[in-house]
Amino acid sequence: NVFDEVELLKYRENNASVTEEQESPLEEVTVDNPPVEELEEEEPKKEEVKETNKKVTKEYIGYLEISKVNLKQGLVSKNSYYNHVNRNIQILNESDYPDKENGNVILAAHSGSGYLSFFKNLYQLSTGDTAKIYYKNNIYNYEIVNIYNVPKVGTVAINRDYSKSCLTLITCTKNSKTEQTVYILELTSVVKEGDGNV
């Protein structure tokens, strides 16, 4: 937790830049390692990194905040070692970054009770609730417009308005081993960090 807080502060101070990846909108995304609800681990396990003479660092490019469920977690770039549901909130390969017009930021994470279950309380959200993404000196404000369940089969159909910028959150459905819940949020405003109009 201390490490994450320090990294969030470093992000706010440095605002690391990211190379924008251009991708066409997709109706379905692949979830290689679908989030699971029953992820229960008492403490972090040491992970082996099979890279020689390279130091793997966890550098945030931004972070997700959902006040209603006390969630504030850093996001890493798509090509980061830590961009995986077993290490952090994952930005899926099909995802855009928040600054792409009419793009879709697609995030997946575990639910359940483990220390990596960043989306464990999303089931408490309902339409009209809000989320923020802090990215490149801007705060992107989103509002939930749709919540639906899909079978856990490795792909997820995303039903959204392609004329709007969106945020999609994917996690396992509470008390189900066979379904995932998809939260569709639409962008309501973008403000500069520090403007006070958040």
Q: Report the run of H or E that residue 178 belongs to, with start and end.
A: none
Count, in order, helices (H) and strands (E) of the chain.
1, 10
Half-sphere exposure of 170 (CA within 13 A, CB side): 30
Q: What does pTM read for this prediction?
A: 0.76
Nearest in space to 57 (alpha carbons), one of 38, 73, 76, 39: 76
Residues 6, 147: Cα–Cα separation, whole Å: 33
Bridge partners (DSSP) of residue 72 are 65
Residues 70, 124: Cα–Cα separation, whole Å: 11
State the pLDDT at residue 104: 98
User: For 45-82, how does the pLDDT look when each residue is reduced to its tens digit (9 = 90+)?
Assistant: 444 444 445 566 789 999 999 999 999 999 999 999 99
Instruction: List the chain residues with pLDDT less than 70.
Output: 1-56, 196-198
Burial of 174 (0-12, 13-18, 19+ CB in 10 A): middle
User: For 160-174, how does the pLDDT look when each residue is reduced to its tens digit (9 = 90+)?
Assistant: 999 999 999 999 999
State the pLDDT at residue 162: 96
Helix (H, G, I), strand (E, B) or coil at 10: helix
Cβ(193)–Cβ(137) under 8 Å? yes
